[in-house]
Amino acid sequence: MLIAGNWKMFKGPDATGEFCRALREQELPAGVDVAVCPPYVSLAVAVRELAGTEIAVCAQNVHWEAEGAFTGEISAPMLRELGVYGAIVGHSERRQYFGETDETVARRVTAALEAGLWVIACVGETEAEREAGETDAVLRRQVSVLEAHEQLVVAYEPVWAIGTGKTATPELAQGAHETIKELLDVPVLYGGSVKPDNAAELLGQPAVDGALVGGASLEVASLAAICRAAA
Protein backbone atom coordinates (compact mmCIF):
# COMPACT_ATOMS: atom_id res chain seq x y z
CA MET A 1 0.00 0.00 0.00
CA LEU A 2 1.44 3.36 -1.09
CA ILE A 3 0.27 6.78 0.07
CA ALA A 4 1.79 9.63 -1.96
CA GLY A 5 1.14 13.28 -1.18
CA ASN A 6 1.09 15.59 -4.20
CA TRP A 7 1.63 19.11 -2.82
CA LYS A 8 1.15 20.81 -6.22
CA MET A 9 2.24 24.50 -6.05
CA PHE A 10 2.26 24.69 -2.24
CA LYS A 11 5.09 24.79 0.36
CA GLY A 12 8.34 26.54 -0.39
CA PRO A 13 11.59 25.35 1.24
CA ASP A 14 10.84 26.74 4.72
CA ALA A 15 7.34 25.24 4.93
CA THR A 16 8.63 21.98 3.49
CA GLY A 17 11.35 21.70 6.12
CA GLU A 18 8.85 22.32 8.89
CA PHE A 19 6.44 19.74 7.46
CA CYS A 20 9.09 17.05 6.98
CA ARG A 21 10.46 17.46 10.50
CA ALA A 22 6.94 17.07 11.89
CA LEU A 23 6.28 14.06 9.65
CA ARG A 24 9.38 12.35 11.01
CA GLU A 25 7.84 12.49 14.47
CA GLN A 26 4.68 10.67 13.40
CA GLU A 27 4.30 6.97 14.13
CA LEU A 28 3.43 5.84 10.62
CA PRO A 29 2.09 2.29 10.28
CA ALA A 30 4.30 -0.56 9.11
CA GLY A 31 3.40 -1.97 5.73
CA VAL A 32 2.43 1.41 4.27
CA ASP A 33 4.90 3.12 1.94
CA VAL A 34 4.79 6.91 2.14
CA ALA A 35 6.01 9.51 -0.36
CA VAL A 36 5.83 13.30 -0.49
CA CYS A 37 5.95 15.23 -3.77
CA PRO A 38 6.97 18.86 -3.14
CA PRO A 39 7.56 21.56 -5.78
CA TYR A 40 10.99 21.52 -7.44
CA VAL A 41 12.35 24.34 -5.25
CA SER A 42 11.60 22.32 -2.12
CA LEU A 43 12.93 18.92 -3.17
CA ALA A 44 16.43 19.38 -1.76
CA VAL A 45 15.08 20.38 1.66
CA ALA A 46 12.71 17.40 1.72
CA VAL A 47 15.50 15.01 0.75
CA ARG A 48 17.71 16.40 3.52
CA GLU A 49 15.03 16.39 6.24
CA LEU A 50 13.75 12.90 5.41
CA ALA A 51 17.19 11.31 5.06
CA GLY A 52 17.43 8.17 7.16
CA THR A 53 13.67 7.55 7.08
CA GLU A 54 11.57 5.25 4.89
CA ILE A 55 9.65 8.24 3.48
CA ALA A 56 10.37 8.82 -0.21
CA VAL A 57 10.68 12.19 -1.92
CA CYS A 58 9.30 12.47 -5.45
CA ALA A 59 9.08 15.26 -8.02
CA GLN A 60 5.84 16.37 -9.66
CA ASN A 61 7.14 16.09 -13.23
CA VAL A 62 10.26 15.13 -15.19
CA HIS A 63 11.48 15.78 -18.75
CA TRP A 64 12.24 13.07 -21.32
CA GLU A 65 15.71 14.38 -22.24
CA ALA A 66 18.73 14.12 -19.97
CA GLU A 67 19.80 17.69 -20.82
CA GLY A 68 19.32 20.30 -23.52
CA ALA A 69 17.61 23.53 -24.52
CA PHE A 70 14.37 22.97 -22.62
CA THR A 71 13.87 26.11 -20.56
CA GLY A 72 12.00 25.48 -17.32
CA GLU A 73 12.30 21.68 -17.45
CA ILE A 74 14.13 19.29 -15.12
CA SER A 75 15.66 15.97 -16.17
CA ALA A 76 15.67 12.57 -14.48
CA PRO A 77 19.46 12.54 -13.96
CA MET A 78 19.19 15.93 -12.21
CA LEU A 79 16.54 14.53 -9.88
CA ARG A 80 18.65 11.45 -9.18
CA GLU A 81 21.65 13.64 -8.35
CA LEU A 82 19.48 15.54 -5.87
CA GLY A 83 18.52 12.30 -4.12
CA VAL A 84 14.93 12.23 -5.39
CA TYR A 85 13.32 8.78 -5.48
CA GLY A 86 10.66 9.15 -8.17
CA ALA A 87 8.32 11.41 -10.09
CA ILE A 88 4.67 11.93 -10.91
CA VAL A 89 4.07 11.99 -14.67
CA GLY A 90 0.99 13.01 -16.64
CA HIS A 91 -1.09 14.51 -13.84
CA SER A 92 -4.39 15.82 -15.20
CA GLU A 93 -3.35 19.39 -14.38
CA ARG A 94 -0.27 18.92 -16.58
CA ARG A 95 -2.54 17.62 -19.34
CA GLN A 96 -5.13 20.37 -18.85
CA TYR A 97 -2.92 23.44 -18.41
CA PHE A 98 0.43 22.57 -19.99
CA GLY A 99 -0.39 20.57 -23.10
CA GLU A 100 0.71 17.15 -21.84
CA THR A 101 -0.39 14.37 -24.19
CA ASP A 102 -0.38 10.58 -24.04
CA GLU A 103 2.74 10.65 -26.22
CA THR A 104 4.70 13.07 -24.02
CA VAL A 105 3.59 11.16 -20.92
CA ALA A 106 5.01 7.98 -22.43
CA ARG A 107 8.30 9.71 -23.25
CA ARG A 108 8.64 11.13 -19.75
CA VAL A 109 7.78 7.79 -18.13
CA THR A 110 10.33 5.91 -20.23
CA ALA A 111 13.11 8.40 -19.53
CA ALA A 112 12.43 8.42 -15.80
CA LEU A 113 12.35 4.62 -15.54
CA GLU A 114 15.53 4.27 -17.59
CA ALA A 115 17.25 6.74 -15.24
CA GLY A 116 16.26 4.61 -12.24
CA LEU A 117 13.39 6.69 -10.87
CA TRP A 118 10.09 5.27 -9.68
CA VAL A 119 7.15 6.70 -11.62
CA ILE A 120 3.53 7.41 -10.71
CA ALA A 121 1.81 7.74 -14.11
CA CYS A 122 -1.61 9.40 -13.94
CA VAL A 123 -4.68 8.48 -15.98
CA GLY A 124 -8.34 9.43 -15.69
CA GLU A 125 -11.42 10.77 -17.43
CA THR A 126 -13.07 14.19 -17.34
CA GLU A 127 -16.65 14.69 -16.19
CA ALA A 128 -17.80 15.13 -19.80
CA GLU A 129 -16.10 11.89 -20.80
CA ARG A 130 -17.70 10.02 -17.91
CA GLU A 131 -21.16 11.40 -18.72
CA ALA A 132 -20.66 10.36 -22.35
CA GLY A 133 -19.86 6.80 -21.25
CA GLU A 134 -16.27 7.08 -22.45
CA THR A 135 -14.43 6.23 -19.22
CA ASP A 136 -13.37 2.77 -20.39
CA ALA A 137 -12.16 4.05 -23.78
CA VAL A 138 -10.23 6.94 -22.22
CA LEU A 139 -8.48 4.67 -19.72
CA ARG A 140 -7.61 2.16 -22.43
CA ARG A 141 -6.13 4.92 -24.61
CA GLN A 142 -4.10 6.48 -21.80
CA VAL A 143 -2.81 3.16 -20.48
CA SER A 144 -1.97 1.84 -23.96
CA VAL A 145 1.17 4.04 -24.15
CA LEU A 146 2.59 2.56 -20.93
CA GLU A 147 4.51 -0.67 -20.45
CA ALA A 148 4.64 -2.68 -17.24
CA HIS A 149 7.79 -2.07 -15.20
CA GLU A 150 8.74 -3.00 -11.63
CA GLN A 151 9.21 0.70 -10.81
CA LEU A 152 5.97 1.90 -12.41
CA VAL A 153 2.77 2.68 -10.52
CA VAL A 154 -0.39 4.00 -12.16
CA ALA A 155 -2.67 6.50 -10.42
CA TYR A 156 -6.33 6.57 -11.45
CA GLU A 157 -7.54 10.12 -10.91
CA PRO A 158 -11.01 10.93 -12.23
CA VAL A 159 -10.49 14.55 -13.28
CA TRP A 160 -13.94 15.55 -12.04
CA ALA A 161 -12.94 14.49 -8.51
CA ILE A 162 -9.67 16.44 -8.24
CA GLY A 163 -9.89 19.41 -5.90
CA THR A 164 -13.69 19.46 -6.25
CA GLY A 165 -14.67 17.63 -3.09
CA LYS A 166 -16.35 15.02 -5.30
CA THR A 167 -15.07 11.49 -4.89
CA ALA A 168 -15.65 8.41 -6.99
CA THR A 169 -17.71 5.86 -5.11
CA PRO A 170 -15.69 2.87 -3.94
CA GLU A 171 -17.51 0.81 -6.58
CA LEU A 172 -16.58 3.24 -9.38
CA ALA A 173 -12.97 3.31 -8.21
CA GLN A 174 -12.86 -0.50 -8.05
CA GLY A 175 -14.23 -0.80 -11.58
CA ALA A 176 -11.74 1.65 -13.05
CA HIS A 177 -8.85 -0.01 -11.24
CA GLU A 178 -9.93 -3.41 -12.54
CA THR A 179 -9.93 -2.04 -16.09
CA ILE A 180 -6.42 -0.62 -15.69
CA LYS A 181 -5.10 -3.86 -14.18
CA GLU A 182 -6.53 -5.87 -17.07
CA LEU A 183 -4.33 -3.78 -19.35
CA LEU A 184 -1.21 -3.41 -17.22
CA ASP A 185 0.15 -5.54 -14.38
CA VAL A 186 1.18 -2.75 -12.01
CA PRO A 187 -0.08 -1.35 -8.69
CA VAL A 188 -2.85 1.24 -9.11
CA LEU A 189 -3.45 4.16 -6.74
CA TYR A 190 -6.67 6.14 -6.44
CA GLY A 191 -6.47 9.94 -6.62
CA GLY A 192 -9.35 12.39 -6.33
CA SER A 193 -10.38 14.17 -3.11
CA VAL A 194 -9.00 11.46 -0.82
CA LYS A 195 -9.43 12.53 2.81
CA PRO A 196 -9.08 10.87 6.22
CA ASP A 197 -12.84 10.30 6.42
CA ASN A 198 -13.17 8.47 3.09
CA ALA A 199 -9.74 6.84 2.82
CA ALA A 200 -10.55 3.57 4.59
CA GLU A 201 -13.54 2.81 2.35
CA LEU A 202 -11.68 3.64 -0.86
CA LEU A 203 -8.48 1.86 0.14
CA GLY A 204 -10.49 -1.17 1.24
CA GLN A 205 -11.40 -1.99 -2.36
CA PRO A 206 -9.51 -5.08 -3.58
CA ALA A 207 -8.03 -3.43 -6.69
CA VAL A 208 -6.93 -0.23 -4.93
CA ASP A 209 -3.26 -0.33 -3.96
CA GLY A 210 -2.96 3.08 -2.33
CA ALA A 211 -3.72 6.74 -2.90
CA LEU A 212 -2.32 9.83 -4.60
CA VAL A 213 -3.47 12.50 -2.17
CA GLY A 214 -3.75 16.19 -3.02
CA GLY A 215 -5.01 18.83 -0.60
CA ALA A 216 -5.31 16.42 2.33
CA SER A 217 -1.55 15.77 2.15
CA LEU A 218 -0.69 19.37 3.02
CA GLU A 219 -1.30 18.85 6.76
CA VAL A 220 0.84 16.35 8.67
CA ALA A 221 -2.04 15.08 10.81
CA SER A 222 -4.25 14.57 7.75
CA LEU A 223 -1.58 12.67 5.78
CA ALA A 224 -0.77 10.51 8.81
CA ALA A 225 -4.47 9.72 9.31
CA ILE A 226 -4.74 8.55 5.69
CA CYS A 227 -1.67 6.35 6.20
CA ARG A 228 -3.30 4.79 9.25
CA ALA A 229 -6.49 4.20 7.25
CA ALA A 230 -4.41 2.45 4.60
CA ALA A 231 -3.04 0.08 7.23
Active site residues: 91, 157
Helices (H), ranges, the chain? 13-24, 43-49, 76-82, 92-98, 102-114, 127-131, 135-144, 170-183, 196-203, 220-230
Residue 41, phi then psi, degrees to nearest 5? -65, -15
Is residue 156 within 8 Å of 170, Cβ to Cβ? no
Q: Is residue 123 classed as helix, strand or coil in its secondary structure?
A: strand
Q: Angle at CA 175, nearest 5°, toward 170 and 179?
A: 145
